[in-house]
A and B are shown apart, each in its own frame.
Chain A
Amino acid sequence: MKFYDLFLDFSRKLDELIPRIRVQGDLAEIDAKDLTHKEINDLIRYAVFEHNCNKIRLLNVVGQRYIGTRIFSRNPRKISVEIFGYPGNDLGAFLAGHKIVVHGNAQDGVGNTMDDGEIIVHGRAGDVVAMSMRGGRIMIRDDVGYRTAIHMKEYKEKVPVLIVGGTSQDFLGEYMAGGRVILLGLYSAKHRGRYIGTGMHGGIIYVRGKLEPWQVGREVGILELSSEDFKFLEKHVGDFCKEFGFNADEILGDKFVKLLPVSKRPYGKVYVY
């Protein structure tokens, strides 16, 4: 069986691709039609580091992975990437403080192990959104898939936030160790996800609407919100509504519950030395 490197063997050299890019001031427009993910990121790097562009506009994106992953640099420049189309898996994986806006749906692994920055999706997203996310904010207008916010974590001032306009499938917040998840449930009468917060040992999940006890893992409790929680929601739900054109007061006027882990050490008693 011939060995192909699934990506590298089919990628063209940068020189061949340069005609795809149109630079106007600090904005670069890239036509992503038929480009591989490596080619797209090569072009983004070319625009950012050779032309000093701070804004990237990607057109005709269809399934290319890792968009935005390769703009790490030691100087803290913030790049903003606007995507028209449907980016592939691991959008903004390991994202180093940049901003990504998607006009379309996203697939699996949005913001995987993202370090900082912002991802906004005008559409839905697939599974494992915000896995191991450690900073920044992700806003998904519609629903998300399974295993959302798995192992999200926080440290000191670095508290990642995920806001989902719709609802999530099973295993939301599994192993969650920190961060904040807001689930607004704007498009369905009920949340149907199960095993929410299984193994959760840090962070907070806010849910608009009702959750039955059988929907949540045994490591979490369902609690009422405090005034501090409302202040937090006001800011982030406010931003969400501004971005996607909803009425924040209406949404915030509804009933919310929050899920908190009952222990920082869910499995402390299983082992014997």
Chain B
Amino acid sequence: MKFLLKKDEMFSFMLPEFLVERRGDRCIKCRVCERQCGFGVHSYDEMSNTMRADEMKCVGCQRCAVMCPTKALIIRPHPSDYRPNANWTREKIQDLKKQAESGGVILTGSGCDKPYRIYWDHIVLNAAQVTNPAIDPLREPMELRTFLGRKHDKLEFAFDGGEIELVTELYPNVQIETPILFSAMSYGAISYNAFKSLAMAASEYGTLFNTGEGGLPKELRKFGKNAVVQCASGRFGVDPEYLNVAAVVEIKIGQGAKPGIGGHLPGEKVTKPISVTRMIPEGTDALSPAPQHDIYSIEDLSTLIYALKEATNYEKPVSVKIAAVHNVAAIASGIARAGADIIAIDGIRGGTGAAPKIIRDNVGIPIELAIASVDERLRREGIRNKVSLIAAGGIRNSADVVKAIALGADAIYIGTPALIAMGCTLCQKCHTGICNWGICTQDPQLSKRLNPEIASKRLVNLLKAWSNEIKEMLGAMGINAIESLRGNREMLRGVGLQEWELEVLGIKGAGE
């Protein structure tokens, strides 16, 4: 705790964000909390034999509360508050004070936490009653297998006696066992162990993880057939082998948490192993420019799409990931015409390892509206089969997955849910490089808290649980394949939505 100020040093006017309550009757002074906190909240005072807490440092990640053997700790939002004011919330006042003290752009981590309408919670699903039978997924086959990539308008077959032969040469497609993929989270943004856990889980369950733009460490290239490898504006870690070991190559144009903003891995996070994978010297900032400097138009995008197809001998689907923004449907149409096989669209609630808070909380549109309008536009133009659509940003449970697919997605990306499965508590401090759960950090002491064997099991459990729930919901609707749900908006009804919202979503109101 700070009592003395240097000359010209400002006294901070900030309030603590969290209250650290230590119940004396339970605390045995074992100092576990002290060792567990990478932010240095807890300390032990030998003179008085007491545990102390510096609340100003607490981020509310709950690591100490979970690890405390006697459950002596309660961490909750600090009750001290300013005079209630609907306009000037505590957060707004605190942010402003922080800027007055530093002059900086406020950085944050994870997804937008502002109360924009969550459309998932205003959409209900249908179920079969009397006029069509429901299906019991426990006893009947249910198909969640999904193929990502461009599909033909028509297939040609040759009939030779009893033999039927497919004449059409299929476009490269990737098979996944459930329509859930792990979103792009780079090694650098997340720890090696977290990255490896995602790779292991994707490989075990038969789905894909996404390397982000931090490269793929050599020893993890064996997971390549379950990898989406990114080629982003910084081109970090991109070499011909990296592209060729992958299942899918993804061009990252934008990210839901920070549309129009580049990436910035601060130099202190570029440790030796990170520098090896990104192929940059230790300690340098890894700057990913906001635009890709060879892409200033749809034509330029097309150039890079085909450069990547050339570099991978036309064997892999090429995906283009964009943030959901105002003209997303027109942009997606352009991307499909530019030759992409997959379009991934990331909504405003998509997570991040670091983004300016003002951008995260104010730029972009919700994924529900974006995916619905893109699907509708591509259908109207007769090119929906040219691309697979992946919805990302703000999916929280299996019902959201089902709703996203019924709105037109082929599959969905999960980032935040995967992190939560591994231990994340959404404290939003990813950008600091300190993560007490060993996920979003490069500190070897902290990252070894995450055991890839166990964390990957948690991830596989999550995929299994969601997949089973999806089968239950499909069965209830009387559908036995995810294919029949895709873009099937008849299965959705809106509750408490305005007319324009129903129109964009392309669904009826409940009762209609």
Contacts and interface: CB of A to CB of B under 8 A. Distances in A.
Contacts of A189: none
A147 B296 CA distance: 12
Interface of B is mostly: mixed
B126 interface: no
Contacts of A45: 313
A264 B267 contact: yes
Given A66-B306, A134-B279, A178-B280, A72 B293 contact: no
Given A94-B307, A151-B293, A177 B104 contact: no
B105 A7 contact: no
Contact of B382 (A3, A38, A202): A3
Contacts of B383: 3
A41 B310 contact: yes
Contacts of A158: 279
A112 B107 contact: no
Contacts of B281: 154-155, 178, 202, 264
B386 interface: yes
A116 to B, nearest CB: 9
Most buried by A among B275, B285, B289, B432: B285
B285 A201 contact: yes
B284 A273 contact: no
B400 to A, nearest CB: 31
Given A72-B311, A271-B104, A273-B432, A151 B235 contact: yes
Contact of A113 (B238, B287, B306, B310): B238
A272 B339 contact: no
A132 B235 contact: yes
Contacts of A69: 307, 310-311
A94 B243 contact: yes
Contact of B104 (A151, A264, A266, A272): A272
B115 interface: no
B105 A177 contact: no
Interface residues of A, number: 54
B234 interface: yes
B104 A37 contact: no
Contacts of B337: 3
B98 interface: yes
B468 interface: no
B266 A96 contact: no
Contact of B293 (A74, A174, A268): A174
B285 A266 contact: yes
B355 to A, nearest CB: 10
A132 B238 contact: yes
Contacts, number: 152
Report the interface size class on chain B. Answer: 35 or more
A72 B303 contact: no
Interface in B292-314: 293-294, 302-303, 306-308, 310-311, 313-314
Contacts of A265: 266-267, 284-285
A271 B235 contact: no
Contact of A72 (B105, B238, B240, B382): B240
B105 A202 contact: no
A22 to B, nearest CB: 23
Nearest to A93: B307
A78 B27 CA distance: 68
Contacts of A113: 231, 235, 238
Contacts of A174: 293
Nearest to B302: A6
A90 B308 CA distance: 11
Contacts of A202: 280-281, 284
A150 B107 CA distance: 26
Contacts of A268: 266-267, 285
Interface in A158-178: 158, 174-175, 177-178
Contacts of A6: 302, 306, 339
B90 interface: no
Interface string B241-264: 101100000000000000000001
B238 A7 contact: no
Interface string A64-90: 011001101010000000000000011
Q: Give 8 nearest A-B pairs by CB, closest first.
A: A272-B104, A132-B235, A155-B279, A272-B102, A72-B240, A94-B311, A96-B240, A69-B310
Given A7-B339, A72-B313, A134-B238, 18 more contacts: A3-B337, A3-B383, A37-B306, A72-B311, A94-B308, A109-B307, A134-B279, A151-B233, A155-B276, A155-B279, A177-B284, A201-B284, A264-B281, A265-B285, A266-B285, A270-B104, A271-B264, A272-B102
25 contacts: A3-B383, A37-B310, A72-B244, A93-B310, A94-B310, A109-B303, A113-B231, A115-B239, A115-B240, A131-B235, A134-B235, A147-B293, A151-B233, A153-B235, A153-B279, A155-B281, A174-B293, A175-B287, A175-B289, A175-B293, A177-B287, A264-B284, A265-B284, A271-B107, A272-B104
